[in-house]
Homo-oligomer: A and B are copies of this chain.
């Protein structure tokens, strides 16, 4: 039995071939007088391959009835195509119909809105746009691992179920092995009966785990799902998303920024090099300015300014913001975007935020007011990366935990790392889906996640 060849390989062929087997799904079909022309896609690339099936085929009457979305297997020679926009086509010697799609196949040849396609998220990767998104998503996952392997970082799987609350934001999902309906019926919740014997949550960050490993293995990263139970229906939030979190021993805030800039540039360059065809769809149909943005991302040095400077720029901008800017406040998306999109017109690192709006683990600056935090703000998205140099001094850390009312007993192991061989270390979290939005121009995060989870939505 001949092995099938994937369409991206056929289209990239240097020579004609006597006989190939193609398997895939029919995207469009046109019946001419003595021929059927079919565009077939197998998901391996954006382009389809054209199949010419002649009336001399034994099962031609069946071939004529092939519908959009049907699965077929075609055997025949790969020959130079006389048609425009394609170099190769397959002249079918044999067409096997694997399955016929009924007429109500939802993906007919016409433009579907993103909103409609979200209702059939199980089928949308069969469209040009979502096929391209998910191939790019896959390639960025690959690029992330390659980037870190090249630099001697070790990959760590941080636990998803956790008893800690790294960010202290309080919007965590709870995990239980008990049936809540049964708990309600009994009118009592006894955590001793629950799987872990105590309250358990879905993680909001792998950072604390990564810190323990950075202080053992040097440079590490964790890349996995993280969760927020925020009941917010925005185009930039989902309840479940992937986060990349590098953590580096013997690294200060400058080293952290150097690393973040190198990472974003390397990943962007990788996508430009390896996903050129899929990317062209987004520059053509999604965001005409995308090409210029990608050039800026890889070519320009990223700006580095302090929070105080950023606030001053915003206040002097003369711009009317929905939320007025005040030194001491957490910046809103509109402020972040103004700085990146309009003022600097490129990514910028904003450093040294007021300690009162940041978590307990960030290194306290000598001014007693700010911490060695850093966010990377980028056009269209706002915050892409959030990180810090970590507080490595045990006494400072304990005092801050007391101030914030955190239980030191709960974090005994974390404090241990400052007791035994503590060193300066730094790291950050990059929202993986936000990066995908940045490089594709996609404006709704639901469209870069295979099966997004949002309030009220857990389909598929």
- 1/0 per residue, CB under 8 A from B, across A162-180: the answer is 1100000000011111111
Is A296 interfacial (CB-CB < 8 Å)?
A: no
Are A161 and B227 closer than 8 Å at their CB atoms? yes
Contacts of A102 in B (CB 8 A): 419-420
Contacts of A73 in B (CB 8 A): 250
Contacts of A196 in B (CB 8 A): 453, 455-458
Contacts of A125 in B (CB 8 A): 212-213, 216-217
Contacts of A460 in B (CB 8 A): 159, 209, 212, 413
Contact of A224 among B158, B218, B224 (CB under 8 A): B224
Identify which of residues 186-222 in chain A touch chain B, using a CB-to-CB cut-off of 8 Å. 186-189, 195-198, 200, 202, 209, 212-213, 215-218
Are A157 and B450 closer than 8 Å at their CB atoms? yes
Stretch of A131-139, A351-359, A364-372 with 4 or more beta carbons under 8 angstroms from chain B: A131-139
Closest CB-CB distance, A90 to chain B, in whole Å? Answer: 16
- 1/0 per residue, CB under 8 A from B, across A440-460: the answer is 000000000111010111111
> Which residue in chain B gives the minimum CB-CB distance to A202?
B175
Is A421 interfacial (CB-CB < 8 Å)?
A: yes
> Which of A121, A239, A460 neighbours the largest number of chain B CB atoms within 10 Å of its CB?
A460
> Which residue in chain B gives the minimum CB-CB distance to A182?
B189
Known contacts A43-B218, A419-B102; is A152 also within 8 Å of B453 by CB? no
Closest CB-CB distance, A411 to chain B, in whole Å? Answer: 10
CA distance A163 to B227 in the complex (A): 16
> Which residue in chain B gives the minimum CB-CB distance to A176?
B174
Closest CB-CB distance, A194 to chain B, in whole Å? Answer: 8
Stretch of A76-84, A141-149, A307-315 with 4 or more beta carbons under 8 angstroms from chain B: A141-149
Contact of A213 among B4, B25, B149, B450 (CB under 8 A): B450
CA distance A134 to B214 in the complex (A): 12
CA distance A188 to B145 in the complex (A): 46
Closest CB-CB distance, A256 to chain B, in whole Å? Answer: 15
Known contacts A101-B421, A419-B102; is A159 also within 8 Å of B240 by CB? yes
Known contacts A44-B217, A174-B178, A184-B183; is A225 also within 8 Å of B160 by CB? yes
Closest CB-CB distance, A274 to chain B, in whole Å? Answer: 10
Is A154 interfacial (CB-CB < 8 Å)?
A: yes
Identify which of residues 249-281 in chain A touch chain B, using a CB-to-CB cut-off of 8 Å. 249-250
Is A23 interfacial (CB-CB < 8 Å)?
A: yes
Is A99 interfacial (CB-CB < 8 Å)?
A: yes
Contact of A189 among B161, B184, B250, B455 (CB under 8 A): B184
Is A303 interfacial (CB-CB < 8 Å)?
A: no
Closest CB-CB distance, A179 to chain B, in whole Å? Answer: 7
CA distance A203 to B241 in the complex (A): 15
CA distance A275 to B107 in the complex (A): 48
Contacts of A187 in B (CB 8 A): 184-185, 187
Known contacts A125-B216, A229-B195, A420-B105; is A183 also within 8 Å of B189 by CB? yes
Excluding A71-B422, A161-B240, A180-B189, 14 further A-B contacts by CB distance (< 8 Å) are A43-B154, A43-B218, A98-B422, A99-B392, A122-B212, A123-B212, A134-B213, A158-B450, A159-B450, A174-B177, A180-B180, A195-B239, A196-B456, A209-B450
Residues on A lying within 8 angstroms of B by beta carbon are 4, 6, 8, 23, 25, 42-44, 69-71, 73, 98-99, 101-102, 105-106, 120-123, 125-126, 131, 134-135, 137-138, 141-142, 145-146, 149, 152, 154-163, 173-181, 183-189, 195-198, 200, 202, 209, 212-213, 215-218, 224-225, 227, 229, 231, 239-240, 242, 249-250, 392, 413-414, 416-417, 419-424, 449-451, 453, 455-460
Which 5 pairs from chain A and chain B are nearest by CB?
Answer: A43-B217, A125-B216, A184-B189, A138-B154, A196-B458
7 pairs, A vs B, C-beta closer than 8 Å: A125-B213, A126-B216, A141-B145, A159-B451, A180-B189, A184-B186, A224-B225
